Amino acid sequence: MILFLDGMVFNSRMDGSTSVDDLLTKVKLLLTSHNTISIASTQEKKVSAASVFYVSDTNLNIYFLSFDKSTHSKNIFKNRNIAATINKDVEDWSDIKGLQIKGYSEKLDIHQREEVLNRYKRKFKYLDQIINAPKNSNEQKIAEQFQTISVFVFTPIFLRLIDNSLGFGKKMELTRANGEWLRTS
């Protein structure tokens, strides 16, 4: 057994014998153990990146909040293809563990919005207090914006799980084809 993702224990090798299900379990644990994702989007050959809080579901969909006027939202409206990374900031290359993701994103309609906002409230417990009883003008602003902010879904089609503690550049890749995840390395 080895330690992976800040103390979570896995019976794992990241080699050719690691099953797709084991890799997907690692991805799900990584998604639930982190809070921010850095998304990269493009428009007219200009690249933009933004870090946002997120929640995820069991199908590996990633949901984030953003204003329609933000650069990344405007980019997504023009080009749904985005990439992202999730990782903890570390000082030693051998401690790098994370996820590189490619996929597409879109704004959810009003009917799907409430379910995702409830996921946010469950993951980020302090939101309930801010929304229902803001303590200052900053919290009041957040509470007001929470009522109107847009919700986006990021649907991955490619995942690269990285764990340099197993060796420099150690990675496993999955690609979604016809709704199924397949190992590609």
Residue 144, in any domain of the structure? no
Residue 115, in any domain of the structure? no
| Full domain range(s) for residue 98 | 2-106+154-183
CA–CA separation, 158 vs 7, rounded Å? 25
Task: Please list the pLDDT of the chain residue by residue as tens digits (185 residues).
Answer: 343 444 444 445 556 678 999 999 999 999 999 999 999 999 988 999 999 999 999 999 999 999 999 999 999 999 999 999 999 889 998 889 999 999 999 999 988 999 999 999 999 999 989 999 999 999 999 999 998 999 999 999 999 999 888 888 788 999 999 989 999 98
Dihedrals phi, psi of 91, to nearest 5 degrees: -105, -20
Residue 50, in any domain of the structure? yes
Residue 158, in any domain of the structure? yes
Output the six-digit token pair for 48.
Answer: 């933009």
User: Which residues, 6+ apart, have CB-to-CB distance to 99 below 8 Å?
Assistant: 27, 30, 31, 85, 86, 87, 159, 160, 161, 162
pTM: 0.89
Residue 35, in any domain of the structure? yes
Domain count, the chain: 1
DSSP label at 18? -
Residue 139, in any domain of the structure? no
Residue 95, in any domain of the structure? yes
Output the domain CATH number for residue 74: 2.30.110.10
Residue 133, in any domain of the structure? no
Is 179 exposed, middle or buried (CB count within 10 Å of its CB: 0-12, 13-18, 19+)?
A: exposed
Output the six-digit token pair for 168.
Answer: 């420099």
